[in-house]
Structure 1
Amino acid sequence: MNWDPGGASQNTSKLYVLMRFLRIEQTLFSLPMAYLGAFVVLRKVPSISVLILIFSALFFLRIAGMTNDNLADREIDSRNPRTRTRPLVTGVITVRDAKLLIIVGLAGFFISAYLVNIWAFLLSPFVALIVMTYPYMKRFTAFANYHLASIQGIAVFSGAVAALGLVYNSLLTILYYVPWLFVISTVFWALGFDLYNHIPDAEFDKQMNLHSFAVMLGPKALKFAGLNQIGSVTLAFLADYLYNLGPIGFVSTILHGAIMAYAYYLASRGDFGRAFYYNIYSSIVLGLGVDIDIALGIPFT
């Protein structure tokens, strides 16, 4: 129950503390899914410039979003025994540092979006709004879990817009060709790993009048996470079929489901820390598998 993906000892280097504060590894975990959106809509490997700009936009938005999340929750985290080692709580990172990181992150995100294409830039304020409002939603509704999950789905959406905006001049056409099945599949997947972060805090959140499906559903929250992830795998298979993927795509979807099943098993035994990370690994497998499938173009025989 003491596991915390954002915690860091004060006896470690400032760089390490900053990486833990931003949970920078989750940017790398999201990247294959952002690339998935671009690969699927183009049916080929995007240009190097598009790949770099997708990474840049995701990286800077992660800085802004995660810093804002930590800043908004600073007082709550200071009262939760599980999160008391977070850098903003311990003072290793100051409020002034956090505000500067948010400015840098948003500036980098908007510049990256502008350099991608005009549609990515015009949509960027809406994406930023969704990301930056997440930490406040749990004050009002359990659907904050889906709010967080939608941010992961936006990675797929944004990758698609980055690629499609270079091909089509119509926003409606771009939105039509977004691989929505993969977007929604990603939302259902992310709901599961977010609940692995909330279930250990259910009693604390209830005392603080915070909302989540872990609080709303109590012991049934874990089953709810599992049902969402079954939905994720189902939609991913439908997407493989609809978007004419080859054997690597289908195998990666099977592995995606198997890893999530193992994560669920770990969570059912109370090992939420390992469950959280295994669940994230499942998205890497799916994203990379689809990306490689399209890059190699190996059809079913």
Structure 2
Amino acid sequence: MWIRSLHTYGRLIKFSHTVFALPFALAAALLAHRHTPLTAKTLFWIVVAMAGARSAAMGFNRLVDRRFDALNPRTASRPSVTGEISTRAMTLLVVLSSAVFVASAAMLGDLCLKLSLPCLAVLFLYSYTKRFTAWSHLVLGFAIGLAPVGAWIAVTGTMDWGILLLSAALMTYIAGFDILYACQDVDFDTSAGLHSLPSRWGIQKALAFSSALHVTTAASLAGLGLAFDLGGLFFALLAVISGLLFLEHRMVRPDRLEAIPVAFFHVNSVVSVLLFLAVWLDLRLS
């Protein structure tokens, strides 16, 4: 029974999607290790903090969006809509996950603790942005893009402007594929009065903007490699990442939106893992 409940909660918050952002945070921690030793304890609390923040953000999103999710055929089967998970249970999930995140931040140092509540506020804000702005994708990217900065501060206790290049890469990467994902809901968003770039500009222009964001992702990662003096292996894998992003945009076209789930779930998860491997292997072998 508990396995079924765990699976249901996993479906609610799409826990598997953690693979999109976690590798970026771990890559930041590895880069920080060059300045300050990364201990197993710090690594553990970084992972717990990431899981807590994401669970809180997704649980909150499902809680406040359940009315819209019930009307959208694509999301009508979510546990938050079908009643598999009650409103009370979702609220408890958000509260407990938020507490886990704040407690983990406290274990990572005073600065992380001070930044934890503003970070949660940004994560929660995203859930309301589709109600008033078509730029909600960038808000989502910004919120998730805080992860590398947080991981860097967790290891070093200080800020380094170079790590913002990794945050910029994650921000544009997330925002770019969120635009692709939103193309599935153009008709619903329009009828429900929700805002997105595909519903505002049309799918073709939105796809072009998504492509521009992913070009920025690749450029930011190249800048990261230069800023941290990474070697040829990093740039070789960056070429593979760039190729995958190009493939993603070749797969998804205005007349081929059925390819979005494959591009979203498979290509993007490989990109994130490759980014971590690029940093880890380069630092290990250099």
Matched, 1:50 2:42: yes
Matched, 1:23 2:14: yes
Q: 2:269 aligns with which of 261, 280, 288?
A: 280
8 Å CA contact 1:153, 1:184 repeated in 2: yes
Q: Aligned partners of 1:185, 1:133: CA distance in 2, in Å?
A: 21
8 Å CA contact 1:35, 1:291 repeated in 2: no
Comparing 247-256 with 185-194, which one deviates more in the overlay? 247-256
Report how far residue 14 of structure 1 moved.
Answer: 2.7
Matched, 1:229 2:218: no
Report how far residue 153 of structure 1 moved.
Answer: 1.0
Q: Aligned partners of 1:134, 1:57: CA distance in 2, in Å?
A: 19
Q: 1:195 aligns with which of 165, 168, 179?
A: 179
8 Å CA contact 1:191, 1:228 repeated in 2: yes
What number of residue pairs does the alignment pair up? 278
Classify the secondary structure of the residue corresponding to 1:13: helix
Within-5 A mapping of 1:88-107: 88-107=80-99
CA displacement, residues 174-204 of structure 1 (integer Å, 9 cap, x when unaligned): 2344511111111111111111221110121
Q: Aligned partners of 1:195, 1:254: CA distance in 2, in Å?
A: 23
8 Å CA contact 2:20, 2:268 repeated in 1: no
RMSD, aligned CA: 1.6
8 Å CA contact 2:21, 2:170 repeated in 1: no
Structure 2 residue aligned with 1:4: none
Q: Percent identity?
A: 28
Structure 2 residue aligned with 1:182: 166
Q: Aligned partners of 1:42, 1:33: CA distance in 2, in Å?
A: 14
Comparing 256-265 with 69-78, which one deviates more in the overlay? 256-265
Q: Which runs of 4+ in 1 moved over 6 A?
A: none
Comparing 262-271 with 65-74, which one deviates more in the overlay? 262-271
Cα distance change on mapping 1:64 and 1:122 into 2, 3 Å: same
CA displacement, residues 51-97 of structure 1 (integer Å, 9 cap, x when unaligned): 10100000011111100000111000000011110001000011011
Q: 1:252 aligns with which of 237, 243, 255?
A: 237
TM-score by length of 1: 0.88
Comparing 178-187 with 222-231, which one deviates more in the overlay? 178-187
Within-5 A mapping of 1:36-185: 36-43=27-34, 46-165=38-157, 174-177=158-161, 179-185=163-169
Classify the secondary structure of the residue corresponding to 2:74: helix
Structure 1 residue aligned with 2:192: 208
TM-score by length of 2: 0.93
**Structure 2: tracts of 5 or more residues without a match:** none
Classify the secondary structure of the residue corresponding to 2:218: helix
Classify the secondary structure of the residue corresponding to 1:259: helix
Classify the secondary structure of the residue corresponding to 2:252: helix
Classify the secondary structure of the residue corresponding to 1:162: helix
